Amino acid sequence: MKPLPIGILGSGKGSNCRAILKRIHAGALPAELRLIVSDVPDAGILEIAREFGVPNAFLTPGRFRTKLEPESEEALVKMLREAGVELVVLAGFMRVLKAPMLEAFPNRIINIHPSLLPKFPGLEAWKQALAAKEKSTGCTVHYVDAGIDHGAIIAQREVPILPNDTADSLHARIQIAEHALYPDAIANFCRDRGLPL
């Protein structure tokens, strides 16, 4: 099977991006990372792109805090299409995608969220789980739609909440689960929806 061309969007350190790249380089994920894009000029994810020799770009987000300017989103669609991207992977991308992206890549944008959705959508979900005195939480890979952390669920992994957990210790364990779950989910996508030989 031809490797599935993917693009990653991220706003932060890029630990999930690194986990995906490691799996690709180990030959355990039939994907080819064509482009990494960030809306933050000095984001760690762009450093990871340079470290692994992956084409990368900074996208000027515009004046909004939680979404892209329509012109910026159109530019993002153009970048991803020119790179031949088939699957868009959100890895800590902190902006809600709108019609240009959702229409350009229907059922081909996925995200990972640090809770067992539909519980605790939104920011700092691990803190929400602690405050609600949950016994467990986890992470969810899901398709992206017009809602926030709302699209159809692809895969989940549970993480127990320990009696002595702090927000930081719980978040760290959720991230370990994410780094295993996300590459697995992408590998399944490649097998199920993969390109013809």
Residue 88: how many CB atoms within 10 A of its CB?
24
Picking from 34, 65, 105, 39, the residue whose alpha carbon sits closest to that of residue 14 is: 39
> Which residue among the candidates 113, 142, 171, 179 is catalytic per the annotation?
113
193 vs 60: CA distance, rounded Å? 32
Q: Maximum CA pair distance of the chain?
A: 51
150 is an active site residue? no
Q: Around 158, how many Cα atoms within 13 Å sit in the side-chain half-sphere?
A: 6
Classify 65 as helix, strand or coil. coil
Picking from 13, 192, 174, the residue whose alpha carbon sits closest to that of residue 91 is: 13
Instruction: State the catalytic residues.
Output: 113
